[in-house]
Amino acid sequence: MKLLELDPVGGMPEIMADVIAKNCTNIPKVGRFMAISVQWLTATFIQTTFGEWLSKATKKDFPIGYFLVIENYDGVKHIHLWLS
């Protein structure tokens, strides 16, 4: 197999939202709503100029996953996204 591309995805805002949302789900009655809200707020934040900059600036040190493109010996390309 031949590695064609390996790029980190996400950054510190996404990592923080993931950890907070996972912990919110344990809160009775409102946990699911809180987790969804945290994810929505983070998605909105990273669309701002500062949020986009912060995410890109920290994605090498704090990736939430990796985007991978490989090619096997038959020439077939495989695309994978691994999230932590």
Residue 9 in contact with residue 80, Cβ under 8 Å? Answer: no
**The predicted structure's pLDDT at residue 45:** 97
Please report the pLDDT score of residue 10 as a whole number: 92
**Domain locations in the chain as residue ranges:** 2-83
C-beta of residue 20 within 8 angstroms of C-beta of residue 69? no
User: 2: Cβ–Cβ under 8 A, 6 or more apart, which residues?
Assistant: 70, 71, 72
Residue type, 31: G
pLDDT score of 84: 65
Dist CA 16 CA 14 (whole Å): 5
What pLDDT does 80 receive?
78
DSSP state of 59: T
Per-residue pLDDT of the chain (84 residues; tens, 9 = 90+): 788 888 999 999 999 999 999 999 999 999 999 999 999 999 999 999 999 999 999 999 989 999 988 888 887 877 777 776
Minimal CA–CA distance to 57: which of 69, 46, 42, 66? Answer: 46
